[in-house]
Amino acid sequence: MKVEEQLSHYFFRQISSQHLSHAYIFSGDNLQAKNTVIESLIQAMVCPNFSEVGQPCCQCNECQRVIDNQISDVLYLEPDGRNIKVDQIRELRNWLNRSPVEFDFKIAIIHQADLMNPSASNALLTILEEPNSEIYIILDVIEVDSLLPTIRSRAQNIIFTNYFQDDFSDVQIAKNYQKILSLLPGTTSQVLREFDPVELEEWFKGLNEFYQLLLTKSPLAFALIPIRMKSILTTQKIDLGLDYLTLLNHQSLLHTFSNSTKKSVSLNWLQAIIEKHAISTQDLLAINQQLIEAKEYLNANVSSQLVLERIVLNLIK
């Protein structure tokens, strides 16, 4: 199966289960595959036959209009000259703030998103910081590292290449998360290694963003749970997630002790937040206590969503 077929079917499953994330990064050099997946994704969202067969029919009027770029609730943004300017992102925000015309969603595809100038990147970040269940954004880039770390932490990265490998999942896991997985408890690490690579990416991204909002004591953390983290709100995934959040918090504590000689994971986005917001040891210890209590509540059969909401309410007052 080609990479575009595999990823298209992944998105079909996400749409069927209502677990589509609000922001994605399509990285890599396989432009044809990206365009195919984008087209299939939009068709799945508008096709009236999708709910019956689990994929777009590609024959109905709506599917054909997607091919012809005639869906008014879909916007394609291209560089204006050599880069994407802040005014273009401001216009995008205004467009997103208006209600959908035909369907119950809006989707924006930003091609060559790595050409955003600094002002445009910061303007886009303000959009991503306020997730909306009706809005979806796709950032098309060659290298994911060309985007700001704060943007990368708020979007799920989908990797496209010009070839397909049978061991694609192992390659992707090794590249992105192998070191982190090795530091997690043995059972947790073993279960996570069995996740689909795209599913694992989504799990990490949701938890990274949640932890970032906890660190900065942002009220958006509460709104994030039913929207950005919707796809991981199962008892198993949150149980594993609490182990990962504990690891992140431990890494944060290590970073606050400049003389520490203990081994820590290189998480540039995490270190930048700690330094920018002057996160104190007391703040981190408070988070640690809430994570311990969260485990106890989860083991007592409290719902995963309520467990996360309790963490937010106790830390962000």
The structural domains of the chain, with segments of one domain joined by +, span 3-159, 175-316
Task: Please tell me which residue, 253 or 70, carries the higher pLDDT value.
Answer: 70
Percentages (nearest 5) of helix, strand, coil residues in the chain: 60, 10, 30
* Rounded Cα distance, 121 and 219, in Å: 22
pLDDT for the residue 258? 57
pLDDT for the residue 163? 41
pLDDT for the residue 274? 81
Mean pLDDT of 62-80: 95
**Residue indicated by tokens 């008014």:** 72
Task: Please tell me which residue, 175 or 170, carries the higher pLDDT value.
Answer: 175
pLDDT for the residue 174? 44
Mean pLDDT of 122-132: 91
Domain made up of 175-316: CATH architecture: Up-down Bundle (1.20)
Q: Which CATH superfamily is domain 3-159 in?
A: P-loop containing nucleotide triphosphate hydrolases (3.40.50.300)
* Rounded Cα distance, 77 and 112, in Å: 9
pLDDT for the residue 298? 95
* Rounded Cα distance, 183 and 176, in Å: 14
pLDDT digits (tens, 9 = 90+) for 195-227: 887 788 889 888 988 998 898 888 778 878 887
- Residues 6+ positions from 192 with CB-CB distance below 8 Å: 181, 184, 200, 203, 240
Q: What mean pLDDT value characterizes the chain?
A: 86
Short-list 102, 90, 164, 101, CA closest to 127: 90
pLDDT for the residue 175? 56
What totals of helices (H) and strands (E) does the chain contain, helices first? 16, 5
Please tell me the pTM assigned to this model. Answer: 0.58
Task: For the chain, give the percent of residues with pLDDT over 70.
Answer: 91
Which range of 149-163, 208-222, 241-255 scores highest in mean pLDDT? It is 241-255
